[in-house]
A = this chain, B = another copy of it.
Amino acid sequence: MAENEKKRIDPRVLRTRQMLKEALIELLEEMDVEKITVNRIAERATINRVTFYLHYKDIQDMLEKMADEMAENVNRVMMRTIEQHKSGDRETLLLGLLEHIAANAKFYKVVLGSRRIPVFHERLRSVFVDKIKLGIEEIEEHNPDIQSDVAVWFGSAALIGTISAWLRNDMPYTAPFMARQFALLFKQR
């Protein structure tokens, strides 16, 4: 059932998109996003340049689609973590997220850790904003002087920014350690 939902896509399409994406990630490891052209992506992917346009409007469009996929994945991971542990416990939730990121570190380091690709940060931020909004009441009860939307801005920015820095520095700490750090840093009394 599950694999029929997306009514079977031609394997050639999957292959081409996969190769284009891998090529783009590779290039992003090597150069700034402004230096990347459709030419280069196609060449690296050993795909004809014209074929690129059969799949994406332009590079920006491609980045956005990849960012959407990333957001979906992150959402799914967080959902799954919650189900497995049957608790909205913040630390375990973060641990699930961080372990997913660590498992796909090559990708996330490029799109979040590196400079100059804001689409991914935007998408991830809106995922976090949604998640944080759900657990925000506690803060309001605890400290009524804190404006809830400011707290959401603060929390989501701190999360993304810290994770990005963690990736930029080649993850010097383990995922569980980072989850614990977040728990401590977010703790209000």
Which residues of A are interface residues toward B (Cβ below 8 A)? 32, 34, 60, 115-119, 122, 125, 143, 145-147, 150-151, 153-158, 160-162, 164-166, 173, 178, 180-181, 184-185, 187-189
Give the nearest-CB partner of A34 in chain B: B60
Tell me whether A161 and B162 are in contact (CB under 8 A).
no
Tell me whether B166 and A162 are in contact (CB under 8 A).
no
Give the nearest-CB partner of A185 in chain B: B154
Tell me whether A158 and B150 are in contact (CB under 8 A).
no
Copies held by the complex: 2
Tell me whether B173 and A150 are in contact (CB under 8 A).
yes
With contact pairs A116-B118, A143-B184 given, residues A157 and B150 touching in the complex (Cβ less than 8 Å) = no
Some 9 contacts from A to B, beta carbons below 8 A apart, are A32-B60, A147-B173, A150-B173, A153-B162, A154-B181, A154-B185, A156-B161, A157-B164, A160-B161
State A116–B120 Cα separation when bound (angstroms).
10
Most buried by B among A153, A178, A187: A153
